[in-house]
Structure 1
Amino acid sequence: MKIVKKVLTAAVAVTMISSMAACGSSSDSSDSAGSIYFLNNKPEIANSMKALAKEYTKETGVKFTVETAASQTYEQTLKSELSKSQPPTLFQVLGQVGLENWKDYAANMSDTEMYKQLTDKSLALKLNGSSEVQAVPVVSETYGIIYRKDLLQKYFEMPGASITDVKDINSFSALKTVADQIQANKSKLGLKGAFTSMGFDASTSWRWNTHLASIPLAYEFAKDKVTKQPATIKGTYLKQFKAITDLYIKDSTVKASELSGKTMNDALSDINTGAAVFFQNGSWAWPDLQSGGLKADQIGVLPIYMGIPGETNYGMSTGSETFWTVNKQAPEASQVATKKFLKWLITSDYGRKTWADTMGFTTSFKTFTGKYETDNPIMKAAEEYQKEGKKNVNWAFLYDPSDEYKTNLSDSMLQYVQGTGNWESVKTAFVNGWATEYKTAQENQ
């Protein structure tokens, strides 16, 4: 009798669950329709991305979660999130090296609208020997030395200014002359310094260990015709790397001893309030500059000159770090839902407007023309250099062997800046650290 009761109870329970599922299938279809979980590596678009996800859910009913990794923690965060029972369905890989690291999770994206709409399909990433596309570039970005046109003009009009036209700031020597004279006359010009603070807080240290360090490395790779991640590097242009580092810390809005705790918000405040003329950053900073009250006609950009032979033939550092891929280990329905979102992003009015205007991105897709072309003045500056025949400086940091490499380089640079270390330690972290981290990465594969 007890057995019969248990069977009947189980049957009733199954019936109730089935009935509940049937009743809820029209109103709560997240399981059958799939859901989206995006792990974002760009803190500067965290709020905009959440708003975009909210709108997508409103339009489609598909559950959409966005989480943003803290600055300098993306790789570690991705590793942790992918191991969970509900992992990201959409994530970023950072170039070819990133794809190799996360190849076990990268789905075939050859059938996606995002890949089909690429203006240049060769930009998509494939694993070695594979015909399938595993990652698609999301944006085209650029970085250099952003400057306030109105403030630089004040220097040009200053009695005794050695340079009076921005076109003549076309070398490290010229940049240093202008920066030194601005710094010497900062009180007369109503400034705190030539350059915004280049802090070593996690929110901004990547400007040192990733973007600035990539410049001498890019020229080294170009000279040596490096086309894939090398096991070792030489540090050919470390002398020039030191020259720009010294200029940044000498002609700054703050003392070198204060840089350890300075954040990205401090640097943004310097440029937005008019405390400094120059600000090393990229096209992704445009929304923050707009929020700070700046207009497009106030913004110009210079290449990062540091005295490397032939650098006058180059413009800004332009490329794509962020490649989206769908997690093939996520439930099939969620993979389908994620691919549908990607199509919506690059074809819908709301998606395109948010991507191009609110986030200020320049994309690699055919669908972003006319009113969907970005008005980002930093990207437009890069395009002007290209029109003049200048070559782009490649993104050598895409070959960086690990986050640990960047952290160690940043630590050595901070010690140098504060006077507790020397440049030889920076050289060791730059050159020897690369070989060490490359070997470790290969052993862990």
Structure 2
Amino acid sequence: MKKFNRALVLMMTLALVIVAAACGNSNNENASGGSASASSANAKEVKITFLNSKGADIQAKLEAAAATFKKANPNIAISIISTGDGQSPVEMASTLYASGTAPALIMLDAGDISKFQDKAADLSNEKWVADMAQPNQIAGKTLAFPFSIEGYGLIYNKAVVDKAVGGTFDPAAINTTSSLEELFNKIQATGVNPLLIGSMDWSLGNHFLALAYAAQPDGDVVNYLNGLKAGTEKIADNTAFQGLMNTFDVMKKYNAGKKDPLAVTYEKSAAAVAKGEAAMTFNGNWMYLELQKSNPTGEFGFIPVPVGNQAGDKANSAIAIGATKQVIVDKTQNSEAQQAAAKKFLEWIVYDAEGQDFLVNQVGVIPAFKNITLQPKDSLAVSIKAYNDAGKSIAFAGNYVPGDHWKVLGASMQKYLAGKSDVAELASDIQNYWKTAK
């Protein structure tokens, strides 16, 4: 996700709605057999739309996959549209539903599936359900297709950090806030900036801050968030939150962008790490495609974000991992033929060799299906898989928060990053948010 001018986002959204409306009208005609003057070939074609909420990171690859799929399924045409940068999937999907042009396939953040459960087709009987690595149910039904397993932490440039430690760096050596600062000092001694923090609200709000939710001793994110909603949990007094913010203070101290921290974009942070101008940044494995633009052959990995100085705490050695982006099939504004076409595309991704290649090799996704034996090739995906296989993972807590969490509390984190608030004010913002969270 990257920031856009709000007016531009509104213009883009309107344009997409108009395009989707055209597709929707065409969809209805094709689904019912088309006009009398249409050729028999066109009359049989089913047109559907796929809303991609991973944006530019995979847009071109997804369009290419739709074209490849059409070669094997000439009577199904898939149009790919995308959310605007700075626009949440919920906002875009809601706009399209309101206009009567809901896509057949809608990619949402995992935490937002329940908001659309009355519009989502029941996928419980689809072939791929039996091959999911983990159950994915709401109210006893499988309503969404798990598109990707993702994770995040401190992304580091291996060549830069190896040089700083005088050998092969072992990320397991960083398991406390103190050991992280020691590493920053070693990197700085080589003349390289230790860190560049991206200012994106979605990253700070739904990823970094959410580590405090995931790092609770019992690992029960839902129970902790329910406590925040009820007011029985006080974030300011929470050990994991306090430790996480202590780590963030250390990160701010060594941040190469601290003179103008809110000017550091997704692209800038990725380019700095890829070029070796900064040793690391905070983000997820989806950043690999952006890193490749500046360093196609670079090797990168993950260091967990410590939440304290107790080396034995699991959260200090674990990466947040989860099935993040998930896809529903709309049953309210798409015909049965369109729904069938959408389901066929999802099955193609899981079982067709070209579909699997798209998922794993083209967009670097760690598949959520046991039958897919392709191994990720990009170094960030390999790193995430290694943590996951070793049981060194905590919940991707952003999957459990409301759709506006990243904007509201992401803005609060930006204030803290910029030195415009203190930890007490941040804690107050978090507590107040959860009082009224839906």
Which of 75, 79, 102 aligns to 1:65? It is 79
- Offset, 1:37: 0.8
Give 1:22 shift.
5.2
User: Hey, what does 1:8 align to over in structure 2?
Assistant: none
Runs of 4+ aligned structure 1 residues displaced above 6 Å come to none
1:133 and 2:172 aligned: no
* Per-residue deviation, 1:68: 1.2
The equivalent residue for 1:5 is none
**Cα offset for 1:308?**
6.4
Instruction: Kindly provide the amino acid, as one letter, of the partner of residue 206 in structure 1.
Output: W
| Whole-angstrom CA distance in 2 between matches of 1:399 and 1:134 | 16
Deviations 1:79-112 (A, max 9, x none): 10122232110113433x4222111211011232
Alignment of 1:236-315 (within 5 A): 236=238, 237-254=240-257, 256-295=258-297, 298-307=299-308, 309=310, 310-311=313-314, 314-315=317-318
Q: How far apart, in 2, do the equivalents of 1:415 and 1:115 lie?
A: 43
1:148 aligns with 2:157: yes
SS of structure 1 residue aligned to 2:50: strand
1:38–1:88 CA contact under 8 A, matched in 2: yes
1:220 correspondence with 2:216: yes
Corresponding residue of 2:21: none
TM-aligned CA deviation for residue 33 of structure 1: 4.2
Contact kept? 1:144, 1:303, Cα under 8 Å: yes
Q: What residue ranges of structure 1 are gaps of 5+ in the alignment?
A: 1-17
**CA separation of 1:350 and 1:182: change in aligned 2, threshold 3 A:** same
Partner of residue 75 from structure 1, selected from 90, 115, 124: 90
CA radius of gyration, larger in: 1
Question: Which amino acid is the alignment partner of residue 125 of structure 2?
Answer: D
Q: For this pair of structures, how many residues does the alignment match?
A: 394
**Paired residue secondary structure (2:184):** helix
Which residue is equivalent to 1:400? 401
| Residue 80 of structure 2 is aligned to residue 84 of structure 1 | no
- Matched with 2:350 is 346
Aligned match of 2:175 in 170, 174, 199? 170
1:414 and 2:418 are equivalent in the alignment: no
In the alignment, which of 184, 193, 196 is matched to residue 179 of structure 1?
A: 184
The SS at the match of 1:51 is helix
- Aligned partners of 2:431, 2:201: CA distance in 1, in Å? 19
Q: Equivalents in 2 of 1:50, 1:322: separation in Å?
A: 17
TM (norm. structure 2) is 0.82
- Whole-angstrom distance in 2 between the partners of 1:302 and 1:40: 29
Q: TM-score, normalised by structure 1?
A: 0.81
Q: 1:259 to 1:66 in 2, by over 3 A?
A: same
More off after superposition, 276-285 vs 111-120: 111-120
Please, which runs of 5 or more residues in structure 2 have no aligned partner? 1-31
Q: How well do the aligned residues superpose, as a CA RMSD in angstroms?
A: 2.7
| Cα distance, 1:386 vs structure 2 | 4.5
Over 3 Å counting, the alpha-carbon distance change for 1:399 and 1:24 in structure 2 is same
**Conserved in 1, the CA contact under 8 Å of 2:204 and 2:414?**
no
Matched, 1:358 2:362: yes
Distance in 1 between the 2:277 and 2:316 partners?
A: 31
Question: 1:429 maps to what in 2?
Answer: 429
After superposition, residues 2-41 of structure 1 pair within 5 angstroms as: 21=35, 24-29=38-43, 32-41=44-53
Secondary structure, aligned partner of 2:269: helix
Residue 50 in 1 paired to residue 63 in 2? Answer: yes
Equivalent residues of 1:356, 1:374 under 8 A apart? yes
Distance across 2 between alignment mates of 1:59 and 1:264 = 37
Deviations 1:316-343 (A, max 9, x none): 1111122211001111111011011111
